[in-house]
Structure 1
Amino acid sequence: MPRVIIQPAAGADARAHYEDTIRQPVPIPRIRTQLAAVGLPLPDVLASLTAVPVWGVTPGSRGQNARCWEQVQPGDVALFYGQKRFFASSVVIGKIHAATLARDLWGNDPNGQTWEYVYFLDEITDRSISVDAFNQIMRYSANNIPQGFQVVADGRAEDLLALFSLESSTSIPAVSPSEYNTLVELPAGELDRQTLVNQRLEQRFLRRHLFQGHSSRTCCICGRNLPVELLVAAHIKRRADCTAEEKRDYQNLVAPMCQLGCDDLYERQYITVDHTGTIRRNPNLPLTSDLQDVVAPLEGRACPAWTPGTQQYFEWHARNQRRRAS
């Protein structure tokens, strides 16, 4: 499970650092030069980049920040706090202990420490999360003000990720096949916290299976190659109608569909895939002229997700086409 990093950035220096090294990502040559000066290699995760958002923390008066930093892993989500709200989130892609780099970027604080426990970020997203909502999830008092670098690694992290939709779309933590099989056999429940957690774990497993760490994939309906954050692991047969055995057949049950319209068109059955693997419009549903313009380029395309293994699920979808009363 990804951890959630609570990163206060309320002071003038912290906000300046945020503007200087997150809003304006640091060029990779600058990082490489500072690391090479002390014999440190450039982390592999940065090798293909030209610039990267960078943050860091000091060791802390008793080394507490350094101990928290040791817990940080790629895929963890950092929440930045200031001005009585969490104003941004980001996803950790790597880290390094590098005092020379930190001094070059930020200098020293009044105590002579530098922000040497460095981590590299991606997916910087502006947010406006109230401290009241945060305190409720964390089970803190209503007047609590986030202070100090903190890594949340218990069930509250899952709550923060789920309720504020913080989890990375590209860095997908592992869920084992045995864990997935256990999840799909659980009875459907009300939308309580545990149900939300289970749904996220199931989707995490399916997305990892489909996208396998790639940053982009092809939508099986329109054929466009898109960032995986714009794709979903779509159930070919409606999940609610699947048996537990069918849900365990995840290699054939899901397919990548984009959120630019294809997933909705398929889920709402404006389009289907016939027995030859060809995309067809649903003749039972009337189309507006604008919707016709969207569907027409899709009709007749070969669906690359259609295989002997997926055929039965596409056929179920085609047999159960939605109809509108005339």
Structure 2
Amino acid sequence: MQKTAYVYVPTPSKTNLEVGLARGLWGWRSPTLDRAGSRQAVLSLDEGDLLVLGHRGPNSRVAPGGWSGAVLQRVIISEVTRPLFSAADQVWTDDEYPERIGMDVLEDVSPTGGVTLGAEAMEALRLSANKQGAAVLDPGVLEVTRFVNSLPPVISGSDHGSISHDGETSTATTVLRRREQAKMRRARFGNATQLTCAICGRVLPSRFVRAAHIKRRSAAGRLERLALANIIAACLMGCDELFEHGHIYVDHTGTIKASPKAEETADLAAVAARLAGRPVSGLTEDQEPFFSWHREHIAQQA
């Protein structure tokens, strides 16, 4: 069963928070994990579990349940990508924090009026605040799922064309990944009702076009994942799948090429050949590093 760990991040740790989010890491001092069973809680986290970071709340020195209506200035929901490990390289400037987990940020909420979670989640964060940021474990994801389902849609119909290739690991995780794609879609294409496929050049209703990552989401760091240059419009008429699986790629001149992968069947080769030689629509110079990664890691893999 998927689990959730809650960690409170106080106001003075804002810089450490930003560093951790950028690097996809969270860390603790060893004595913190040795306090009140926190090490066992973190050791129980597996890849795919959730880590919720609450930032800038009220005074935590209150009775149990005293945070049930409290407001946090920021809530970050992430997925564990690497279970607990030790490392000594300098990530944060004020300390090593050698006990670390890898994380992938799924949602970062900081509305003007603040945000609150369910009573159980807020109590876990209050306990974490009183344990110097130690992790407090919830054996399920019900609180996170309720919160995610309460979030307003990014834009009406924002799920159109935003289906992930990375698989679906849970209801909450799936919804959050789709919200991320919807945000990227809105930032890249606005609220356009029609889009031009960057690969085949067809102009189609927006619901037939995906906001596709050039460098796969699962391989991209957080900043790469949020880079608009890493997004192209790829239609559901076949272009998205052909590019995703490396049957076609984009060379350094911005021209579409068929890869040896397309030779799996004669019909597949014919489809790829019809696209080969076309220039990518709307190509920008800052997209080349992402296309280069796709050529090397997807199109050239046997």
Which of the pair has more CA radius of gyration? Answer: 1
Per the normalisation by structure 1, the TM-score is 0.41
Higher relative contact order (CA 8 A, sep 6+): 2
